[in-house]
Structures are given as structure tokens and as C-alpha cells.
A = this chain, B = another copy of it.
């Protein structure tokens, strides 16, 4: 009765697969594993070291991070590079193709934030905050504003530029900024999306804001969380 029902299974060595020619299925094989897309997110603003990735993703364990970096590298999404001496440290960076999934990362985030399940009190990495600016800017509010806003998270600094109706975000130094926010990412969440006044955060010592305060506050008004469901 059983007449070798499995003998013609092509290669049992294959791991679990979707067996689906659709690009979406392939995409989920490439970046759908647990943590993969968040590692990509952390790399979207430039190369990072192993420890920096761990810092941005505190809940990942080192062995899993190693595995994911390996599979992302095998897929051609991430490349590892050895910085020239005297630095001589290894960094991970996105390949040009890997960097092309930025719209996917931002799109998923923008879509998911409408869920009632969102909890803004969880950990928020500096990269996640900076990317959230691109994710949640309201284009109509940009108008003809020009602004160079700096962000300081401990030793790391980032720059957001608004010009010509667009916003760009990058790591970079804070020379020439119109204003600089110095605070933990979660505190900035309260300003940019919780719409708390900066004075409240400054009073509690959670924020230091320097430079052109008017422009900084106008900048903070450019962003908004998508409308929540039900």
C-alpha cells in the first residue's frame, strides 16, 4: 500500500523552502528570517561593527547575530569589510542591492505602526529613530523649509537635512547644524510623535536642545504617527 511514496522526492537534503517562484516568497527567504530585516535596518545608515549591531538590537544573542550576518552575506545583501590599518576592524555594510530594500523597511514600519499592538516604550535604537524620520515625515508639511538638524546619542551623531521638499538622514558630525537634539531615542519619540513640548523633556533632564530652537520645534512638527486602527 505504501509503494515508496517518498522515493521520488527530489532531494530531501533541502531545508524548509517555500517552493514558490513568486518574488515575494524569495524575498521572505532572503530577509524573512527572524532578526534579518532589523539587522538590515541597523545597516541602512552606514557600516556597523558587530558590537554596534548588538547595541542597536539588545535582544539578539551573539550566535544568532553571527548566523544572520552569514546568511545575509551569502545572499549578497551584506558585505563584510576590513577597515584599513590602523583601524583594522571588521565592519558589516549593505551591498548596493541590499541598500535598495530601504523602501521595504520603511514601508513595513509605516504600515505596522497603525496596529494597536505598537508599544513605544520599548527600546529604540538611534538608527531606528533616524529612519523613523524618513518613515513618518508628512511630505506636505515640508513646504520650503530648509533645516540642518543634528542629533547626539552619546558618542554617536546624526544629521537630518530638510531641503527642496525632501528630507535626508545620515550619520555625520554636527558642525554647522541649525540646532542639535541631545537625548535618548525614546525621549525624542515623545517629542516627535508624542508631541510633548521640548520644555517638558528639558525640565526632566531627558533632553538638551541647542541652537535655533524655533527651527528645531518647527522641524519636530514635520512628523506624525499614522492613524491608529480601532
Chain A residues proximal to chain B, CB less than 8 Å: 16-32, 34-35, 37-38, 41, 57-59, 75-76, 97, 100-101, 103-125, 128, 131-132, 135, 186, 189, 229-230
Contacts and interface: CB of A to CB of B under 8 A. Distances in A.
B27 A108 contact: yes
A74 to B, nearest CB: 10
B116 A21 contact: no
B41 A115 contact: no
Given A21-B123, A32-B37, 14 more contacts: A18-B35, A20-B128, A21-B118, A21-B186, A22-B41, A23-B110, A23-B118, A24-B106, A24-B112, A26-B112, A26-B113, A26-B117, A30-B115, A31-B108
B24 A109 contact: yes
Given A18-B38, A34-B32, A115-B76, A24 B59 contact: no
Contacts of A20: 38, 57, 59, 122-125, 128
B22 A124 contact: yes
Task: Indicate the member of A17, A18, A108, A186 with the most B CB atoms within 10 Å.
Answer: A108
Nearest to A32: B32
Contacts of A76: 115-116, 229-230
B58 A19 contact: yes
Contacts of A22: 38, 41, 109, 124-125, 128, 131-132
Given A107-B103, A115-B26, A97 B21 contact: no
Given A111-B101, A116-B76, A28 B21 contact: no
A56 to B, nearest CB: 9
B97 A114 contact: yes
B112 A21 contact: no
B34 A117 contact: no
A22 to B, nearest CB: 4
A28 B38 contact: yes
Contact of A107 (B107, B114, B128, B189): B107
A111 to B, nearest CB: 5
